[in-house]
Amino acid sequence: MDGGSYSDKDCRNLLFATCLGAAITPLMGTMISLALPCIGKDFDASTHSLSMINTIFLIASVMFMVPVARFASIYGMKKTSIIGLIIVITSAVLSALSPDLEFLLAMRFILGAGSSVLMVTGIAMLSTVYPAQRRGWAIGIYTAVTFIGFTLGPSIGGTLSDLMGWRVLFLLMVPLSVLSLMFFRRFDKDISPMHGKKMDMKGSFLWMDSILVIMLGVAYVTEPWGIILILLGSALLITTFHFLRNRENPVLNVKLFHICIFRRSCIAAFMNYAAASSLTFFLALYLQSIGQMTASEAGLIMMLQPFIQAIFTVWAGSLSDKIEDGRILPTAGMGMICIGSLMMVFIGSEISLIYISSVLFMFGMGIALFAAPNTSIIISSVSREYRGEASGMVSVFRQTGMMISMGIAMICISIFMGSSDNISPSTYGAFMDSIHTAFLVCFIICLTGAFVSWFRGETSKFCYI
């Protein structure tokens, strides 16, 4: 049974366990970003090498999401989550003890794999334990905690790195993981909707290989061979989908994508994050270069967006449980991001805090209205057996959308400026052109996503577009 067979105590313990795990990934990403100069100084590393610290974490997390989702559904989501937390604890401690950059990169890869477990099992378990009338609220809480992680990460990372060094940032993951483990131990049951089925090893390796090639291509999209990798990876991914279609127990049931509401909701999620995720990158550069602000001043202003997301995501998730037409909130959210993107197309070189705050509000409110309700629709559109895979797809499309958004940013900067490192008064005009062009592309993506979100189809209806 969905929800009804679990006590309030079970629900509470699971919510605490999954939310603590949900905070780990955003914290690990945003905290380490501000510590990169210190790491570079310690290891005498180049800018390119330092960029791989975050890139390799993201690549590993997306690579392992689908195989992990299948593994968890077969052998138990609670058990798999505990394994993931142990991997996070071990790799975090070893990261803090890294003797060189190569060792740190290896640990970041393992840390990304461990965090992928927490990303794909959390929503799947909550959607199973909580009844339908409270599912959106629970997913809203979970999503809000993720946004809080993004909000607090930069300030925590910058402060601790300055006071105690970058190594302590990894050790901060240990108490969070231990607390999550404690609450998982209090959750007496396990969830294994595919118990007794086999793990598809061939399909898993094909999936991971294709994602690895594509993500490396996106990471180096400004290089000629980056485009080649994207094309090769895309061809390999298409081959993987054809291979999985004929498997008896595939690592991913690709037939789920024939369900209109599932397929189009996933596409809408991808377009949402592809349109919105580069805002932080561009505004950070805009405020500190053209606005002549310090990093802390820019960071304080930019906290408005995740603050809005953290506040309103829970409300939107709860509201989605009460609204019969599930399209309304996600599509309204996409509409607000469209407006925010259009505002960025016309942003000027004269700093206006009111204008920037309005942009941040539109993006923050748009993501808040979209994230939890759209995720709830995706999870609810499949049977209980496939909720682990559906949860994996939510994370895959979110992370891939983020990578594509940064790819768009890098391409626009490369076209207009040639390099992202030469922002100076003489190149302010070119930098503004790159912002305007990037967000024009984001506006088109988001407008298309809003259309897909509204015409997402009906539950259990099959389609091929």
Could you read off the pLDDT of 215-255 as tens digits, one per residue?
888 777 778 888 899 899 999 989 998 898 888 888 888 88
Q: Are 122 and 139 spatial neighbours (Cβ–Cβ below 8 Å)?
A: no
Q: What is the pLDDT of residue 154?
A: 67
Domain check: are 63 and 140 in the same one? yes
CATH number at residue 275: 1.20.1250.20
Measure the N-to-C terminal CA separation of the chain; round to a whole number of Å.
Answer: 32
Q: Are residues 195 and 241 in the same domain?
A: no
Task: Give the C-alpha separation, 421 to 177, whole Å.
Answer: 37
355 and 370 housed in the same domain:
yes
Assess whether 263 and 243 both reside in one domain: no
Same domain, 160 and 187: yes
User: Residue 298's pLDDT is what?
Assistant: 74
Nearest-10 Cα torsion for 232, 238, 239, 241: 150
Are 259 and 226 members of one domain?
no
Q: Are 114 and 229 members of one domain?
A: no
Residue ranges making up the domain that contains 243: 202-250
Mean pLDDT for the stretch of residues 83-93: 93
Express each pLDDT in 385-394 by its tens digit: 777 778 778 8
Query: pLDDT class for 296, splitting at 50, 70, 90?
Result: low
- Decide which of 250, 265, 285 is a domain's last residue: 250
Based on the fold, state whether residues 314 and 373 are members of the same structural domain: yes
Q: How does pLDDT run across 70-79, given as a tens digit for each residue?
A: 898 889 899 9
Give the pLDDT of residue 3: 44
Contact, 388 vs 252, CB < 8 A? no
> CA-CA distance, 247 to 62, in Å (whole number)?
22
Is 5 in the same domain as 134? yes
DSSP 259: B
pTM value?
0.77
Residues 286 and 220 in one domain: no
Please indicate, yes or no, whether residues 458 and 395 belong to a single structural domain of this protein.
Answer: yes
- Is residue 31 within 8 A of residue 154, CB to CB? The reply is yes
Do 172 and 301 lie in a common domain?
Answer: no
